[in-house]
């Protein structure tokens, strides 16, 4: 009993350190600051529209066109409805200011799952509905796929939450960047580890993993069928509060936009 409470106390301490005074202070720069800067350009075009309109799955898609032409990036939150970090960061991104190209964001992709706070909506696990050589497996998946085909993005980013720590909890993947073979997954993981993971949290360092694209996940299908460079970012909830998880997810999302030319961060590289 005594030992158990000591362990529990240890967890609480690590959790509070992650968001407390010892956290590396923001330098005020970097891709997140660039993305969030005040929109002083009247040339930026912002619009939103419903997808899957007049179905139970209706959800909102946001499109932000930068003044300069450039690549199109499409970001998904809420493919799993209980992964709040991805939903919240995707919602924030609808106010971001890309320097070039087009940013398309669907924050609540499986809106019913998001509203219920559950992983799966009424059609099951949306992220298993895009099999190779077949049609999308549900009405929701077809609507999401239609939006993807419409924008035919250069880059796809799918935001998720994982559990546990890789290598410690054998059933969990921990913090990881899954990516298509053409993506800059190791550069993204390196940037996350350099910029947002404190030295005293080595177990939270991000790994990167090149994915077999012949799977049923949305980011795999986007690469396989549309040639999009694609990422699935998993931020763990293990001993982290919402602020810390969102910080990891937010930095990863901004870094993807920077790596692919939608954000130009001064003084970087």
Chain contacts with Zn ion (rule: CB under 5 A)? 80, 83, 160
Residue closer to Zn ion, measured from CB, 64 or 157: 157
Residue closer to Zn ion, measured from CB, 34 or 162: 162
Residue closer to Zn ion, measured from CB, 30 or 107: 107
Residues 167-196 as b or e (16 or more Cβ within 10 Å = b): eeeeebbbbbbbbbeebbbeebbbbbbebb
Work out how close the CB of 260 gets to Zn ion at its nearest, in angstroms, rounded to a whole number.
22
Residue closer to Zn ion, measured from CB, 118 or 268: 118
Half-sphere exposure of 147 (CA within 13 A, CB side): 27
Work out how close the CB of 10 gets to Zn ion at its nearest, in angstroms, rounded to a whole number.
27
**Alpha carbons 209 and 17: distance in angstroms, whole number:** 28
Half-sphere exposure of 131 (CA within 13 A, CB side): 6
Work out how close the CB of 81 gets to Zn ion at its nearest, in angstroms, rounded to a whole number.
9
Pairing status of strand 207-210 against strand 176-179 = parallel
Q: What angle do CA 204, 208, 210 make, to 5 degrees?
A: 155
Half-sphere exposure of 49 (CA within 13 A, CB side): 8
Residue closer to Zn ion, measured from CB, 83 or 258: 83
Residue closer to Zn ion, measured from CB, 68 or 82: 82
Q: What angle do CA 37, 35, 154 make, to 5 degrees?
A: 150
CB 85 within 8 A of CB 33: no
Work out how close the CB of 162 gets to Zn ion at its nearest, in angstroms, rounded to a whole number.
7
Work out how close the CB of 80 gets to Zn ion at its nearest, in angstroms, rounded to a whole number.
4
Work out how close the CB of 82 gets to Zn ion at its nearest, in angstroms, rounded to a whole number.
8
Token pair, residue 219, equals: 């980011």
Work out how close the CB of 226 gets to Zn ion at its nearest, in angstroms, rounded to a whole number.
21
Residue closer to Zn ion, measured from CB, 155 or 159: 159
Q: Is 265 left (phi over 0), alpha (psi -120 to 50) or beta?
A: beta
Token pair, residue 76, equals: 């998904």
């Amino acid at each position: 009993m005594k030992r158990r409470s000591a362990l529990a106390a240890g967890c609480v301490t690590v959790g509070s350190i992650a968001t407390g005074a010892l956290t590396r202070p923001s330098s005020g720069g970097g891709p997140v600051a660039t993305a969030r800067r005040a929109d002083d350009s009247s040339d930026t075009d912002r619009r939103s529209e419903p997808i899957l309109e007049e179905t139970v799955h209706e959800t909102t898609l946001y499109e932000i066109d930068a003044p300069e032409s450039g690549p199109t990036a499409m970001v998904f939150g809420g493919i799993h409805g209980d992964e709040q970090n991805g939903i919240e960061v995707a919602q924030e991104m609808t106010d971001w200011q890309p320097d070039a190209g087009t940013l398309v964001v669907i924050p609540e992709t499986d809106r019913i799952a998001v509203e219920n706070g559950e992983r799966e909506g009424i059609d099951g696990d949306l992220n298993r509905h895009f099999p190779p050589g077949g049609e999308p497996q549900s009405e929701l998946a077809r609507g999401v796929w239609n939006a993807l085909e419409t924008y035919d993005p250069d880059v796809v980013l799918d935001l998720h939450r994982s559990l546990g720590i890789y290598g410690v909890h054998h059933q969990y993947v921990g913090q990881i960047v899954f990516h298509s073979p053409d993506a800059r997954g190791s550069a993204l993981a390196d940037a996350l580890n350099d910029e947002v993971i404190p030295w005293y949290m080595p177990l939270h360092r991000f790994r990167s993993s090149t994915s077999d694209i012949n799977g049923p996940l949305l980011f795999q299908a986007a690469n396989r069928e549309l040639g999009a460079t694609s990422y699935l970012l998993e931020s763990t909830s293990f001993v982290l509060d919402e602020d810390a998880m969102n910080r990891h997810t937010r930095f990863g999302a901004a870094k993807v936009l920077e790596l692919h030319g939608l954000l130009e961060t001064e003084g970087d590289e």
